[in-house]
Amino acid sequence: MEIALPVTVIFAIALFLIKEVMELVKKTQTKKRKLRALKSVLKEELELNLWTWKKFESLLTRIQDADEGSRYEYSISPSGTERFELVSTDGYGTGQAFPRVVIDLHSKLVIDVAETDSDMYEKLILSYKALSELQYLRNGIVDFIHESEMGASPVQGFTEYALEELSPIYDDMDAFYQYCTGKKLTEHLLR
């Protein structure tokens, strides 16, 4: 016995299947666009933080190389720019801006990333922890150096420790950057 379906039923089933396929394609395209957007804004935040990382490494190296008796002066300009200035024993000074660590997008987008891509989420978490460590070290140098004399043993110990920690911080930032862009994190953005 053959069961024949009316043409209208076959047509309704075909329309339903076409609609479902179209919805699936639309959802897939939306997810891809969202993922591209997330990668783009997080890439930019990593590039901003690379500038902070580089300035921090430069500062730590200058502290290590400073003559005994030199001192650092920490100041904040009226616009809010933080600066460190190394003043040598003979009174000459050289300074540099000291940018802040930016982790706003890392923390705001964590749920969106977790819902969109589990691999990206894992790398985001490692990058977030690395940037939090960079922030901790940055705050430590502001407080620690600001209250200590150059050449003092604790200052040297802290700068050595901080310099050792910078490599793993960069590695985690770079791994996330490579996931987002397919490229190595070498170019920074200025504030």
Tokens representing 59 are: 């500062």
For position 39, what pLDDT does the model report? 96
pLDDT digits (tens, 9 = 90+) for 132-158: 999 999 988 887 766 655 545 567 788
Whole-prediction pTM: 0.82
Mean pLDDT of the chain: 88
Mean pLDDT score, 91-120: 91
H helices within 66-152, ranges in order? 104-108, 110-116, 118-146
pLDDT digits (tens, 9 = 90+) for 71-87: 778 888 899 888 888 88
3-state DSSP assignment of residue 96? strand
Mean pLDDT score, 159-166: 93
Burial 142-167 (b: 16+ CB within 10 A, else e): eebbeebebeeeebeebbeebbebbe
For position 153, what pLDDT does the model report? 56
d(CA 125, CA 121): 6
Domain spans, the chain = 7-64+101-181
For position 66, what pLDDT does the model report? 80
Tokens representing 39 are: 């990668």
